[in-house]
Chain A
Amino acid sequence: MEKPANDSLPCIAGIGLRAPHYCEVLEKLPKLGWVEVHNENFFGGGASLRTLLKVREHYPVSLHGVGMGLASTAPLDQAHLSALCRLCDAVQPAAVSEHLCWNSVPDMTINGPMVINDLVINDLLPFPYTQEALSHVARRVDQVQEKIGRRLLVENLSSYLSFTSSEMSEGEFLSELSRHTGCAILFDVNNLYVNARNLGVDAKAFIKALPAEAVAEYHLAGHSIRDGCLVDTHSTQVCAEVWELYEFALQHIGPRPTLIEWDSDIPVLAVLTGEAEKAQQRLEEYHACFK
């Protein structure tokens, strides 16, 4: 399946743009490579959308979804997909991405006869990596790409549990998904690190096995630890081990547009741009984009 290669994120560092920084960014127009926002916060009209369109006048924008549920067994939410299409039309984003996860099941039975229809759990949930799941997710990625008329970037997940029924690793699943659908891979280095520490995933083997040509973006973020479990809170600076894995990825995959994500306990803008600067330095060490 041919997808127009209209991904145009510059191969430099960007930041996740959240509400506390809208004003400062629009007032000072700081030097930022690009920004990424969460799609669902801009569904509908009004102030949110207007602000994003203002931002778009000054920076490339990447649209990052958290609610599509690519692996859900409930049908794809067509209203959600249409809202994404309208947002894409308005913003003309440089990239559109989603997570390799599920959030909804149809007809869930509880207490015997009781049924909950189309329950949505508003989180990013892992699933068993099976052949069956691969064809299921691939079909849905095809539908999304068809509808938005462009290549989708799909992000690896941070997980707190895994399934004995998995037939392949998450990395293999993503590679196969990309091969089947032409989707790109958004490689979140912190998510991989979280999985390495939580689930015992071999991080370097994961990186070496990813199809480099399919990787279109990196994510970097901080995490927290709760009861021995690394939780992907996006609430701190990128840790030393993740920077090390990022450098390893730059060597094996190559430089790609790189995002600093921060979602809770959001610091002053300078801290974010400082983190982006650290990514930028590493990117420059590995020279220009391959493109």
Chain B
Amino acid sequence: MLVLNDDLSDFARAIVRGEEPSSRVVTSYQNYSVAIAIEVYRNNYRGNLHDTLAGAYPVIEQLVGKDFFRLLTRQFIGQYFSRSGNLHHYGAEMAGFIAAFEPAQGLVYLPDVAALEWACHCAYFAEDAATLDIGKLAQVPPEQYPDLILHIHPACHLVRSRYPITAIWHAHQPGASGDFHIDLDSGASNALISRKNDVVVVSALTEGDAAWLQGIQAGTSLGEATATTLEHYPDFNLQTALLKLVAQNVLANFNLGAAP
């Protein structure tokens, strides 16, 4: 192992754990001491991660207020380390963290809003993918439709919640009036996150549409996903669902699974 690694590890512990820097770090500088230097790095470390979380979770920040959000991120940062040089990967565990975060226990819907925001964040940075090729689909003989395996666009996510998270999310977007009252008892919501002409869009799906999409996401064939959905949701209308999902750029490509 490199000697270099000892110096870097000591430096890292000083930044993330508040430990004393190694004796191989110079202790005094032109106009300040090593303690100030370490504090500048600690501040950068926490500040960069805080800003990243604030960028990924703007609705959570509005819901709880700036001070509470800072408390939340401070504790999150102490618990979850970054593992990528790409900051946009940081913060994935926020929904689970909030669910266990004692001071936020009263806000029962908050973890689901966080899950929705993370999905939006991922959708924004997702790779591009070709949209469903209708010409290619036209060449599939109808008797093989049940075996179609539809691929979901990498920017597409589904977040299902007992609470009206889609309405909560929309009420906190720039340009929203800010004058809203949402009744938590107004019911469950299925938030569909997709990217249309490069803009992240959040829309609501019916229970049936969401159940069907979940089946498709899991790699179930078109025939099987549709049959299962119809068993549970007799009102499910595949034609309406397909047209809506294609319009939202949810479907990317397809292949033919083996016939049952």
> In whole angstroms, what is the CA distance A228 to B40 when docked?
11
Interface size class of A (residues with CB under 8 A): 35 or more
Within 8 A of A (CB), among B1-20: 1-5, 7-9, 11-13, 15-17
Give the one of B13, B15, B84, B127 with max A CB within 10 A.
Answer: B84
Q: Is A289 an interface residue (CB 8 A)?
A: no
- Max chain B Cβ within 10 angstroms of own Cβ: one of A46, A69, A105, A163: A46
Are B36 and A46 in touch, CB under 8 angstroms? no
- In the bound complex, residues from chain A placing their C-beta under 8 Å from that of B8 are 72-73, 102, 105, 125, 127
Known A40-B86, A123-B44, A163-B25: A110·B13 in contact at CB below 8 Å: yes
Contacts of B16 in A (CB 8 A): 119, 121
In the complex, the answer to whether B41 meets A132 with C-beta atoms within 8 Å is no
Complex formed: what's the CA distance from A163 to B29 in Å? 11
Interface status of A120 (Cβ within 8 A of chain B): yes
Report B129-179 residues with CB < 8 Å from chain A CB: 129, 155
The complex places the Cα of A160 from the Cα of B40 at a distance, in Å, of 8
Of B13, B32, B39, most A-chain CB atoms within 10 Å:
B32
Kindly state whether residue B181 has any CB partner on chain A within 8 Å: no
Let me know if B237 is at the binding interface, CB within 8 A.
no
Determine if A2 is an interface residue (Cβ-Cβ < 8 Å). no
Distance between Cα atoms of A198 and B41 in the complex (Å) = 14
User: Which of B3, B26, B32, B44 contacts A132, CB < 8 Å?
Assistant: B3
A12 near B: Cβ within 8 Å?
A: no
Considering only CB atoms, which chain A residue lies closest to B34 in the complex? A161
1/0 per position for B230-246, CB-CB distance to A under 8 A? 00000000000000000
Determine whether the beta carbon of A163 is less than 8 Å from that of B24: yes
CA–CA, A45 and B7, complex, Å: 37
Interface of A is mostly: mixed
Bitwise interface map of A from 85 to 123 toward B, beta carbon under 8 Å scored 1, else 0? 000000000000000001111101110000011111111
**Complex Cα–Cα for A123 and B25 (A):** 18
Distance of A227 Cα from B11 Cα, bound (Å):
20
Please tell me if the beta carbons of A110 and B29 are within 8 angstroms of each other in the complex. no
Whether, in the assembled complex, B186 has its beta carbon less than 8 Å from a beta carbon of chain A, the answer is no
Tell me which residues across on chain B come within 8 A of A120, comparing CB atoms: 81-85
In the assembly, what is the distance between CA of A11 and CA of B155, in Å? 40
Contact check: which of A108, A132, A197 meets B2 at CB < 8 Å?
A132
Which chain B residues (58-86) contact chain A, with CB distance < 8 Å? 81-86
Given the interface pairs A47-B124, A121-B12, A127-B4, the reply to whether A163 lies near B26 with Cβ below 8 Å is: yes
Residue of B8, B11, B21, B29 ringed by the most chain A CB atoms within 10 A:
B8
- List CB contacts (< 8 Å) of A210-225 with chain B: none
Knowing A46-B198, A102-B8, A160-B41 are in contact, say whether A68-B2 is a contact too (CB < 8 A). Answer: no
Contact present for A198 and B2 (CB under 8 Å): no
Determine the chain B residues whose CB is within 8 A of the CB of A116 once the complex forms: 81
Whether B25 and A164, one on each chain, are in contact in the complex, defined by CB atoms closer than 8 angstroms, is yes
Residues of A within 8 A of B83 (CB): 117-120
Contact A67 B36 (CB under 8 A): no
Chain A proximity of B39: nearest CB distance (Å): 8
Q: Does A25 contact B (CB under 8 A)?
A: no
Name the B residues within 8 Å of A77 (CB-CB): 84-85
* Chain B residue nearest to A108 in the complex (CB): B9
Asked whether A136 lies within 8 Å of B4 as measured between CB atoms, the reply is yes
Kindly supply a per-residue 1/0 record for chain A positions 201-239, scoring 1 wherever the CB is within 8 Å of any chain B CB and 0 otherwise.
000000000000000000000000011110100000000
- Min distance, Cβ A137 to any Cβ of chain B, angstroms: 9
Q: Give 22 pairs: A residue, B residue, CB < 8 Å, sorted on A.
A: A43-B125, A45-B126, A46-B124, A48-B125, A66-B85, A73-B1, A102-B8, A105-B8, A118-B83, A120-B85, A121-B82, A123-B41, A127-B8, A160-B29, A161-B29, A161-B34, A164-B23, A165-B3, A198-B31, A200-B29, A228-B36, A229-B29
- Contacts from A to B (Cβ < 8 Å): 40, 43-50, 66-69, 71-73, 77, 80, 83, 102-106, 108-110, 116-123, 125, 127-128, 130, 132-133, 136, 160-165, 197-200, 226-229, 231
Q: Which residues of B contact A (CB under 8 A)?
A: 1-5, 7-9, 11-13, 15-17, 21, 23-26, 29-32, 34, 36-41, 44-45, 48-49, 52, 81-88, 90, 124-129, 155, 195, 198-199
Contacts beyond the supplied A161-B21, A228-B31: 9 A-B pairs with Cβ under 8 Å: A77-B85, A83-B86, A106-B5, A108-B13, A122-B87, A123-B44, A125-B41, A162-B25, A198-B29
